[in-house]
Structures are given as structure tokens and as C-alpha cells.
Amino acid sequence: MMCERAVANPNMAADKKFTATARHWRCVLKSSKSRGTMLVYFSQGSAHTVEPTVQEVVDSLAVDVSVVIDNQSFEDFCGEFGYDLDSIKALRTYEACQRELGSLQRLIGESAVKELVYEVECL
């Protein structure tokens, strides 16, 4: 994984107070099986002073993609997290998680994604 500081995280436009003080990273993950690369934006609170580890980024991805795997529709997602079905913020969050799922599946394969989400212990 390679990371570089980013001005912002395009997936976090809603929380302006946190976004203004957070440390944002543009990370590129590469599969050891040469399936290509995946771009991930990762944000940390301002107390973090070092570049994120690959484990931290992958753990965060696992949480994000589990949201889509465990909630097969936008309606299920809203019900699970208490969002209003008319919420643009909720829709954008759900769509971002869907994009991450697709990208991660292309990078490591569908079965490896399920293993990551259901069998690997997070940090």
C-alpha cells in the first residue's frame, strides 16, 4: 500500500467539523496476485500523527463493505442505521460502500472479501 496526504476525503462531505480537522489520506492498495490496484480514501482524527497502516485501511474497508453485504438494499441499509429513506446523505454513503465493495472484489476476489468480512478479526 502507498499513501499520500489528501486535502479532503470525497466520501465525507457531510461532517464539515470533523473533515476540517481530520487527516485525510489517498491510499492505493495493490494485490499480491497482480489483480491491479484500488484507490481508497481514509481519514483519521486529528490526534493521529502517522500514516495509516495497511491493516487499519483494510479493517476500515471490511467494515464499509460489510454494510452492503449485510444490507441487500438501500431500504435495508436505512433501516439498519436509522437513516430516512429520503436522505441524500444516506444514499451517498450507501453508494460509496457499494463502490468500495465492487473495487475490493475486483482486487482480491469475491470469496476473499467474504473471508475478510466474516472470518478475519479486526484490529
From first to last of the 123 residues of the chain, give the pLDDT tens digit: 999 999 888 887 655 666 678 899 999 999 877 678 999 999 998 889 899 999 999 999 999 899 899 988 999 999 988 999 999 988 988 999 999 999 999 999 999 999 999 988 776
Q: What is the largest CA-CA distance in the chain?
A: 41
pLDDT given for residue 9 in this prediction: 86
Grid coordinates representing 72 are 441487500
Say how far apart CA 106 and CA 123 lie, in whole Å: 24
* Residue 23 backbone phi and psi in degrees, to 5: -100, 120
pLDDT given for residue 34 in this prediction: 66
CB 6 within 8 A of CB 25: yes
